[in-house]
Amino acid sequence: MAGHQTLDQRRASHAWRVVQQVKDEGRDDARREFKLQAKRLPARVVTAGLGQALAFLEAKDYAPHLRAALTDWIGQQVSAAPGRTGDRLLRRVVEGDSDFLRLATAECLAYLQWVVRFAEAEFRDISDVEEV
């Protein structure tokens, strides 16, 4: 089935499964964090670079589902991804060459468009901004 889908359909299908998984876990704070961080991540990637943006999420221990989803998707999509299977994306970015970084950046941003869109649709009850 997957062989007949466009790359963008496969991104959408992967992102959909991730968002459903977060939704099914049912914890409000996890859903809030996922939506907030997903929405902010593309801007951070463009502004600071993919490595810095991922390191920020790790340092704050934000949105583990989001980090796992990116690791899984990029691992599937960008062949010759450096590092061992199961390595998290940040490590691969740090150890990879510049071609890998460019491809991973472009792919992450394309994938995140779907994640953000689905998170907005599925977690409509959650505000875009942090509680003050």
Partner 1 sequence: MPENVVSAILGLHAQTSLHPGAGTALGIVDLPVQRERHTRWPTIPGSSLKGVLRDACRERYKSEYSGDRQRTNQESPRLRAAFGPHTEAAGESAGALSLTDARLLAFPVRSLRGVFAWVTSPAVLDRLRRDLALCRFGAIDWQVPHVEKNRVMLPSDDCPCLIEGGRIALEEFLFERAGDSDGRIAGWIADHVLPDSAAFDATRARFRRSLLVLHDDDFDHFAQYATEINARIGLDYETKTVKGGALFYEEYLPPETLFYALVLANEARARANGEHPSAGRAMGAVDVFDVLRETLPEVLQVGADQSIGKGYCATRLARGRHD
Query: Mask of contacts with partner 1, 15-54, x by CB under 8 A?
Result: ------------------------x--xx-xxx-x-x---
> Quick one: how far is CA 125 from the chain centroid?
21
Q: Do 90 and 56 form a contact (C-beta atoms < 8 A)?
A: no
- For the segment 51-110, give every residue that binds partner 1 (CB under 8 A): 51, 98-99, 101-102, 105-106, 109
Q: Do 75 and 60 form a contact (C-beta atoms < 8 A)?
A: no
Of the listed pieces 5-13, 24-32, 61-69, 123-131, which binds partner 1 according to CB under 8 A? Answer: 123-131
Residue 23 tokens, joined: 């939704």
Sign of CA dihedral 26, 29, 35, 41: negative
Q: Enumerate binding residues for partner 1 (CB under 8 A).
A: 39, 42-43, 45-47, 49, 51, 98-99, 101-102, 105-106, 109, 112-113, 117, 127-129, 132
